Every structure is written in C-alpha cells, then in structure tokens.
Amino acid sequence: MFDATPLVRLPPRVTEEEYEAILEKSVEKLEFRNGQIVMMAGGTDTHSLVKSNLVRQLGNALSKRPCRVYDSDMKVKVEASGLNTFPDASIVCGQPKFNSEKRITLLNPGAIFEVLSDGTEAYDRGEKFWHYRHIPSLKTFVLVSTAQARVEVFELGEGDQWQLTTFDGFDTTLHLKHCDIEIPLAAVYDKTDLDPSTPANDEQG
C-alpha cells in the first residue's frame, strides 16, 4: 500500500544504489519506481486485519511444504524493470533467491498478494501488475479487496496467458492452483468490518 507521491525531501530521480542507502536508514518502507522513491502509506483497520489474516492462513496452509510465506517486510525486486517494492505477502516454494547476502530483497517469488485500498487499487491492477509479470518465477498474482469479500486470482496458464478467477462471498473458498492450497474467504476477512459476525463499532464495549 503506497502513497503515489514521491517524497518531496528527496531528489526527484535517484539511482538504485542511492535508493538502497536511503532505505537502509529509513524507518518507513520505501518503493523504488522509475528512478523515484515512493513512501509507503499507512493502512486502515480492515486493510491491516486482512493482510495479517492472509499471511497467517497462507503460512498454515503451507506449513508442511517446502514453501516460505513472507509478509510486507520482505522487499521484492523486478530485475527486468528495476522496481523495488514491498508486496503485502509473497510465497517462494523451493530455495529463495536474494540479490545479496543481506537477504532483504527477494528475486523469485512464485506468488504475490496485494491487499487493495482506494488510493492504490489502480496502480496495483495496472502498472504494478505489469512490473510483476516480468518476474520469470511468478505464477500467481492475487488482489484482495477491502471493500467486499472478494479475491481476484491471476494465474499463468498455457501460452504464458494470465487467467483470472474471482472468488466472491464469505461462503467461498479461495483456491490457488499453482500453490495447491485452499483458504476460506471467511478466514481472510475474519474480525474485519466485512465479517457479518463482527459487532458494529457502536456495539463493541
């Protein structure tokens, strides 16, 4: 989740090496895009809960498999385009590949997840997905709504074509073909404002 406005106190364009030096000293997560640095914005209550629910469910589903589930602390680099960003979650099955011994920048995610917000949805669906499609290892890209119980899954099929499957509603089960896992949408949206079993704010003590 990112504010699309570059940091005004930083140079309008920087090199990746300059970006890495700035990031190392920053208390914020910073995205590097087209020679510019973009600051990560804070998320809503629902965004935060959906993200944490998602990471937990993915970790549980893959606990007995040779797969690693990373949260938004793990930076992903698209080597072909130079984008450095922090997806809300990512998965590597097999050996992770990093760009240095520091192991802070992942190069070979097999699946990437973005939890949508009003300010970032257009970017996540458009330019950011365009960048992600240049990662050779990527087979699954998932967009998780925070406006309704809806998850959109793009999976790489025959002929390198991305195929979309939409999962709607609390009674639906999310299926990720390449990861071979299933997760109930009710678990993804548990205790959020979208969860029909969660009391309204004025009912909470």
What does the pLDDT read at residue 203?
52
What are the pLDDT digits (tens) for 65-111?
A: 999 999 999 999 999 999 999 999 999 999 999 998 989 999 999 99
| Whether residue 15 has pLDDT greater than 70 | yes
CA distances (Å), origin 31, targets 4, 56, 75, 130: 10, 24, 9, 16
Distance (Å, rounded) from C-alpha 201 to C-alpha 1?
25
Does residue 204 carry a pLDDT above 60?
no
Average pLDDT of the residues in 11-22? 87
How many CB atoms neighbour CB 140 within 10 A? 19
| Rounded distance between C-alpha atoms, residue 175 and residue 157, angstroms | 15
Model-level pTM? Answer: 0.89
Residue 142's nearest CA partner among 55, 68, 77 is 55
Hey, what are 61's tokens?
């589903």
Residue spans per domain, the chain:
43-200
pLDDT of the residue at 123? 93
Percent of the chain with pLDDT over 70: 91
Which class would CATH give 43-200?
alpha beta
- Copy the structure tokens of residue 39: 């600051």
Model confidence at 4: pLDDT above 90: no
d(CA 174, CA 186): 10
CA distance readout (Å), 40 to 6, 106, 178: 10, 18, 29
Six-digit token string for 152: 């959109």
pLDDT (tens digit, 9 = 90+) per residue, 109-148? 999 999 999 888 999 999 999 999 999 999 999 999 999 9
Pick the range with the lowest mean pLDDT from 13-17, 64-68, 109-113, 183-187. 13-17
Mean pLDDT lowest among 3-12, 74-83, 114-123, 193-202: 3-12
User: Which of 76, 92, 69 minimizes the C-alpha distance to 31?
Assistant: 76
Q: Is 195 exposed, middle or buried (0-12, 13-18, 19+ CB in 10 A)?
A: middle
Lowest-pLDDT range of 35-44, 118-127, 177-186: 35-44
Q: Which contiguous run of DSSP H or E holds residue 122? A: helix 121-123
pLDDT surpassing 90 at residue 10: no
If one compares 41 and 85, the residue with the highest pLDDT of the two is 85
Distance from CA of residue 39 to its chain's centroid?
Answer: 16
Residue with tokens 């590949």: 97
Asked whether the beta carbons of 115 and 146 are under 8 A apart, the reply is: yes
Q: What is the mean pLDDT of the chain?
A: 91
Q: Which two tokens stand for residue 130?
A: 């365009």
Q: How many residues are present in the chain?
A: 205
What CA–CA distance (Å, rounded) separates 195 from 66? 32
Instruction: Calculate what percentage of the chain has a pLDDT beyond 90.
Output: 78
